[in-house]
Structure 1
Amino acid sequence: MEPAIILLDEHTDQATRQMLQNVVVRKRKFETLKKKHILSIVAAMTLSCMLLVYLYFYIAVPYSYSFFAMFSVFVNNSMHFLFLLITVGVYSYMILLKKQRDKAEKEFHGLRCEIIDRSKDLWKQKEEWKNRHKVFEMMKKNYDINLYHENK
């Protein structure tokens, strides 16, 4: 469990601390997938541009007199297929990461909204209710998780 969450002993019970820990874990998972997705977008775009530039200058321009000649040159070299396969693979990986990122974001946002919705149950006593802003401020400051409002 995170040290900052452990230090909330007087402000929260064990179940609330576990919920806060889970929202931190899901936020980190979402951020990691977000970074991987951006990296995969850059890689896919770079490979696609490289492939198109290569095809244009080394196949399309020299053999522009015939589509059959361009196709024959492309098919005769197995490295062209390998480069095309790698490009398609990176693009597919990018789409897979997008789906995983969206799922992680939905899980993170759902748990964050659940904490917001159940805040009256999590901080039942009057003294706890008055001090819950300290928990919210700590989560915002340390983990950039907004527990004040449901909107992102």
Structure 2
Amino acid sequence: METAIMMLDERTDQATRQMLQKVVERKNKFDKLKEWHLLVMWAVVLLSFIYFAYLFYQVLQPYSYSFAAMFSVFVNQTFNLYCLITIIGLFGWMNVLRQKREKAEKEYQALRCEIIDKSKDLWKKEEEWKNRHIVYNMMKKNYDINLFHENK
């Protein structure tokens, strides 16, 4: 369990701490998938640009007089096959990561909104209710998780 969550002492009970820990874990998972998706997306864009520039200067320009000559040169070089497989594979991986990122974001947002909705049940006592903003501020400051509002 995160140290900041463990140090919440009397402000929260054990069940609330577990919920806060789970929302932190889901936020970390979402952030990790978001970074990977962005990295793979830029790799696809960069490699595609480099590959199409290579095709333009090595195949299209020298053999532009005949489509058959361009096609023949393109097919005869196995490098083109490897590049196409790599770029298509990275594009597919990018889409898988996007789907995983969206699923992780939905799970994270659902749990965050559940904590907000159940805040009256989680902080039942009057004193706990008045001090819940300390927990909310700690979550915002330490983990960038906004529990004040349901909107992102």
Deviation at 1:79, TM superposition (A): 1.3
Counterpart for residue 11 of structure 1: 11
1:23 matched to 2:23: yes
**Structure 2 counterpart of 1:129, one-letter code:** W
Q: Across the two proteins, how many residue pairs are aligned to each other?
A: 152
Cα shift at 1:45:
0.3
Partner of 1:41: 41
User: 1:110: which partner in 2?
Assistant: 110
- Where structure 2 has 5 or more consecutive residues not aligned to the other structure, the ranges are none
Q: Can you give the 5+ residue segments of structure 1 that lack an aligned partner in the other structure? A: none
- What's the RMSD between the two structures over aligned residues? 0.6
Structure 2 equivalent of residue 119 of structure 1:
119
Deviation at 1:78, TM superposition (A): 1.1
1:54 matches 2:54: yes
Alpha-carbon distance in 1 for matches of 2:115, 2:144: 15
Q: Report the Cα offset of residue 65 of structure 1.
A: 0.9
- Deviation of 1:136 after TM superposition, in Å, equals 0.3
What letter corresponds to residue 9 of structure 1 in structure 2? D
Residue 91 (structure 1) aligns with:
91
% identity of equivalent residues: 60
Q: Distance in 2 between matches of 1:113 and 1:67?
A: 58
Matched residue, 2:75: 75
Q: Give the C-alpha shift of residue 9 in structure 1.
A: 1.8
> How many Å separate the matches in 2 of 1:22 and 1:98?
22
